Amino acid sequence: MFAAFIASVGVTLVLILFPVLHAIELSFYQSQSFVSERTWVGLGNYLRVLQEPGFWRAFSIGITFSLITIVLQVVLGIGCALLLDQPFFGRPVVRGLAVLPYLLPTVVVAVAFQWLLDGSLGLFTIWAEKLGFGRPAWFEDPVMAMLIVVVASVWTWTPFVTISFLAALQTVPKSLYESARVDGAGSWMRFWHVTIPMLIPMLMVIVLLRSIWMFNKFDIIWLLTKGGPLSATEHLPVMAYRRAFMQYDVGGGAAIATLSFAVLSVLILVYFYFYPLDGKDGAK
């Protein structure tokens, strides 16, 4: 037992704590690579980054992207979970297929969307042309590019939300629905006054997890748009990567990443203030 504890602590230190501390350390230096000579600048990188309009634009894009995808994932996840909770022929098979998008590697999802939306041979491009819409410039239009990223993200990660809510639905006592039905409550009233209150704890956990993951989501955006066009889909993780690895401003990229980490830390602290681990209401 003690050996397992030591191993878990060691893995946490090596894979999580040390990289985070090293990134924070880099944010106080100016260097052109991770191995070049570093110059101490203190808070200079933070002051420089915070004065850039591009930083606040990337921050607002990240907030917008997170809010839209989280709302859609929760709404669709609850709807799919309610459907999959109903008895019907082949339900185990449908439940298994519903998880499939979540099991696919992100690079596979990105390649599939790029193929479907290819400007010359994409399936959706051909359909749009046959319907008289011409050949849409899917990835050249800022609004369309953001829409594509949102759709790809929602399609990929809604199954996680669905599985979570489906598991929560299994814990709702059937007697509550029977009592509500006896009292004359219809389907909507049973959903609003029985299902939703019982799903609130899971909903809070899902919102927290999805907020962390979607605000930090890098791979799907980078693989689909690389933050373009015209930085329309460039949020803080993409901006930090571009700054550190393409513009050779390691200190600036580390500062952006640290600021992003600080935002998420505040979000987590607020969450645990209102929903502490002991189950008591933290708000006074």
Q: What's the pTM value of the predicted model, to 2 decimals?
A: 0.88
Is the confidence at residue 225, as pLDDT, over 90? Answer: yes
Per-residue model confidence (pLDDT) at position 277: 57
Domain ranges of the chain: 60-239
Q: Is the model's pLDDT at 144 over the cut of 90?
A: yes
Q: Number of H helices and number of E strands within the chain?
A: 15, 2
Pair of tokens at residue 48: 């420089």
Mean pLDDT computed over 9-30: 82
Q: How far, in Å, CA of 262 to CA of 251, rounded?
A: 16
What's the number of CA atoms in the CB half-sphere (13 Å) around residue 38?
Answer: 15
Confidence of residue 196 (pLDDT cuts 50, 70, 90): confident
Burial of 184 (0-12, 13-18, 19+ CB in 10 A): exposed
Q: Using CA atoms, how far apart are residues 252 and 258, in angstroms rounded to an integer?
A: 10
Per-residue pLDDT at 9: 67
* pLDDT score for 283: 46
Average pLDDT over residues 191-203: 87
State both tokens at 126.
Answer: 């051909």
- Strand boundaries in the chain, DSSP class E: 29-30, 39-40
Tens digit of pLDDT for each residue in 22-41? 889 999 999 887 777 888 99
Please determine, looking at this structure, whether the domain spanning 60-239 carries the CATH number 2.60.120.380.
no
